[in-house]
Chains A and B, each alone.
Chain A
Amino acid sequence: MVAQNIKHALFCAVITLIISYPILGLDLIAEGIQIKLSGADTSTYIGIAAAVLIVFLFQLFRPAITGSLSAIGAANPLRDRKPLPQDKRVRLERAALILIVIGALLWPFFASRGSVDLATLVLIYIMLGLGLNVVVGLAGLLDLGYVAFYAVGAYTFALLSQYYDISFWVALPLGALLAAAFGFLLGFPVLRLRGDYLAIVTLGFGEIIRILLNNLTSLTGGPNGVGGIPDPTLFGMEFGRRIKTEGNTSFHEVFNIPYNSDHKVIFLYLIALLLAVVTLVVIRRLVRMPVGRSWEALREDEIAARSLGMSRTGVKLSAFTIGAFFAGFAGTVFASKQGFISPESFVFLESAIILAIVVLGGMGSQLGVILAAIAVTVLPELAREFSEYRMLIFGAAMVLMMIWRPQGLLPMSRVHIQLKQE
């Protein structure tokens, strides 16, 4: 047994050495016109050696270590806690959501410009997460090209404002409706595909939209994107330093206060908050309506649901369209926040991040999605000092979360209706 352990541990250590040394220890550098190999600095070698040693020891004493780890788990006092009763938990979740919204409404007035800016981004991801949650979490349709609808919303606003001077408030419903229309049109043929094939087709669709945006240079500006997207106005008042559209007034002039660029950021944040709350409430209601129930029914057991007379295409299509609608919403806000969009903002990685938010939050759970959106957006920003390692850590965290907590932060639990028990 011990001999076998040593053999296995040695094997793992050697593998660690093989996969780390050549990449980390031998650097390809360009010296003039020649490519040369150079050794890394000593600390890298020490790091590699340490990694090899750790892997060796871990594999050698694996049973002991995993044993003590589960002992830690057992020592957790909350482990044996009974789940809260149904009605209490529902009330608690509702209270938490309301508290979050109130808190979110107040804090920008005390926070720095940078953090409000970041919070707006968080809200956009919350909208996206909630929207994709309908498709993936509730209806169980694996969508790897969700970013396409986000792009449709963003580009609708950007292009309408560029060619027709359409303002944010007009573009907002248009962008969302157009995204929904795209969802509907795409959903029609592809929704009869099962599981992974659906995932692949949506992935292809997402890439096609991006490449088209990249190539239709005369319309979309190609890789250069569309700039100069106007900020939202408040009853015809602009928040910029100078008025851009004729006929509008300037916020700081109307109220006779000195110009401060924070106003614009806070205003955008409040709009994003409003839209995120709308998204949250609408989806919350939808889930309790027959259409929401049928999403889940179809996800749980397609054959049973169909034999009860549900239209498979109709139900899936409704989920797909509604998901796309909210992506369009988020896209419009994103375009207005950035003031500039390019196809680079809508790459596959973005789809993957939104999907990660949904899965990390606990599929189907709204509070979970909100928490996950905050975590996924804010944590990398906090790690700015490690900015180089940011994406590395992000990737590793995705893997580790899936291993340790595959059910997500706050897994969704069904709301049962119980008969009163006397």
Chain B
Amino acid sequence: MHDVLYFLQQLINGLTVGSAYALIAIGYTMVYGIIGMINFAHGEIYMIGAYISLIVITGLATLGSAWLPLVLLVALICAVIVSSSMGWAVERVAYRPVRGQHRLIPLISAIGMSIFLQNYVHLAQGSRNIGFPSLIQGGITMGAEDGFQTSISYMQITIFVVTLVCMTALSMFISKSRLGRACRAVSQDLKMSNLLGIDTNRIIAATFVIGAALAAVAGLLLGMYYGSIDPLFGFIAGLKAFTAAVLGGIGSIPGAMLGGLILGVAEAMTSGYLSGEYKDVVSFGLLILILLFRPTGLLGKPEVEKI
């Protein structure tokens, strides 16, 4: 019983982080699906989302607003607005002018953008770890009083629920709405959609905006869950989320979800049963293995080599 509860707890830990990874991974997977580039600056967008939420929460606290759902909602909205604008601006400034060039060019541009944004926040906000107030406290505990207890905090439940809501909304949007249909069309064949009168520039910009908005949501949630933020924490999270996107099959939205969850659980289990030091080795090792044996990821469609 003891071991089962322990396993369960590690599973919950893994799923929590994994679902947040999935939210960030959406941004990578959608952008890659449409223009085939790795948006290295996406992790920084997530980091900016976390900063904006903290700024808003702190600001509201000074103003004396205390009703928690309102505080969170305002923080969320502001973070989404700023991050989406950032996503839009980044695409407009750094990626659109180099679109269609050799595939290394947008990649370098993206890496440059990532360095730029990291230092932008670093210069403006300093490089220290800033504590993020834990607004959602408490949780549910299972297990005997004297033995090991498995607990799910309300924070973890919030992360699951919000991720689920976002994912459902995104799937609905992609499959039902006009813009979503256009997104799918563009990801299948950019040139053809252009010929059919779809404003591909707008669709690509929309992809960046959607990805950035979801990253901002993840920024708020993970910032609160972990407890501190700093200008560098976007990069490694971005790398993880990107791994998740590739794992699930880059270009596929359910794949990003699956990849995120698998990655989160793999990390938690490695820390839980081996050592926390090796969790990154396991996640990158998993990535390499998947790519070697199933290069398109778990849910990706095999690519036809065009001649």
Contacts and interface: CB of A to CB of B under 8 A. Distances in A.
A349 interface: yes
Given A35-B58, A402-B109, A142 B115 contact: no
Contacts of B36: 196
Nearest to B280: A211
Interface string A18-32: 110011101111100
Interface in B231-281: 239, 242-243, 246, 277-278, 280-281
B85 interface: yes
A151 interface: no
Interface in A308-350: 348-349
Which DSSP category, helix, strand, loop or mixed, fits chain A's interface? helix
B169 interface: no
A170 to B, nearest CB: 31
A30 B128 contact: yes
A169 interface: no
Contacts of B196: none
A303 B307 contact: yes
Contact of B288 (A195, A201, A392, A396): A201
Contacts of A27: 124-126
Contacts, number: 179
Given A15-B89, A23-B121, A212-B281, A402 B108 contact: yes
A205 B288 contact: yes
Number of chain A interface residues as a range: 35 or more
A399 B93 contact: yes
B128 A200 contact: no
B214 interface: no
Contacts of B103: 142, 195-196
B104 A363 contact: yes
A23 B109 contact: no
A361 to B, nearest CB: 12
Contact of A197 (B62, B119, B291, B305): B291
A398 B58 contact: no
A303 B103 CA distance: 19
B78 A28 contact: no
A193 B123 CA distance: 40
Contact of A201 (B54, B101, B104, B291): B291
B147 interface: no
The residue among A205, A359, A406 with the most chain B CB atoms within 10 A of its own CB is: A406
Given A24-B124, A352-B111, A142 B104 contact: yes
Contact of B55 (A28, A189, A207, A208): A28
A61 interface: no
Contacts of A201: 287-288, 291-292
B275 to A, nearest CB: 8
A355 interface: yes
Contacts of A40: 124
B162 interface: no
Given A28-B55, A28-B58, A37-B58, A193 B116 contact: no
B112 A402 contact: yes
The residue among A16, A24, A208 with the most chain B CB atoms within 10 A of its own CB is: A208
Interface string B207-246: 0000000000000000000000000000000010011001
A356 B40 CA distance: 14
A158 interface: no
Contacts of B156: none
A19 B295 contact: no
B109 A403 contact: yes
A403 B93 CA distance: 9
Contacts of A391: 115, 118-119
Nearest to A14: B85
A207 B239 contact: yes
Contacts of A399: 93-94, 109, 112-113, 116
Given A23-B48, A392-B120, A398-B112, A196 B55 contact: no
A388 interface: yes
Contacts of A195: 103
A224 interface: no
Contact of B278 (A204, A215, A348): A215
The residue among A28, A195, A349 with the most chain B CB atoms within 10 A of its own CB is: A28
Interface in A357-404: 359, 363, 388-389, 391-392, 394-399, 402-403
The residue among A27, A190, A197, A212 with the most chain B CB atoms within 10 A of its own CB is: A197
B34 to A, nearest CB: 14
B74 to A, nearest CB: 13
A22 B82 contact: yes
A136 interface: yes
Interface string B277-307: 1101100110110011001000000000101
A7 interface: no
Nearest to A351: B111
B120 A23 contact: yes
A94 interface: no
B291 A28 contact: no
Contacts of B109: 398-399, 402-403
B281 A402 contact: no
A36 interface: yes
Contacts of A136: 104
A395 B108 contact: no
A37 B112 contact: no
A392 B116 contact: yes
A19 B41 CA distance: 15
A355 B40 CA distance: 14
B114 A208 contact: no
Nearest to B51: A23
Interface in A77-126: none
A28 B54 contact: yes
B98 interface: yes
Given A28-B130, A37-B58, A204-B284, A395 B115 contact: yes
A200 B277 CA distance: 22
B124 to A, nearest CB: 5
B197 interface: no
A396 B89 contact: no
5 contacts: A22-B78, A23-B48, A23-B52, A136-B104, A394-B115
Question: 10 shortest A-B CB distances, which residue pairs?
Answer: A398-B112, A395-B116, A395-B115, A204-B284, A392-B119, A402-B109, A399-B112, A18-B85, A215-B277, A403-B97
Given A15-B85, A389-B123, A399-B116, 19 more contacts: A22-B55, A23-B121, A28-B125, A37-B58, A142-B107, A190-B291, A208-B281, A211-B280, A212-B281, A355-B107, A388-B123, A389-B119, A392-B120, A392-B123, A394-B112, A396-B116, A398-B109, A398-B111, A402-B106
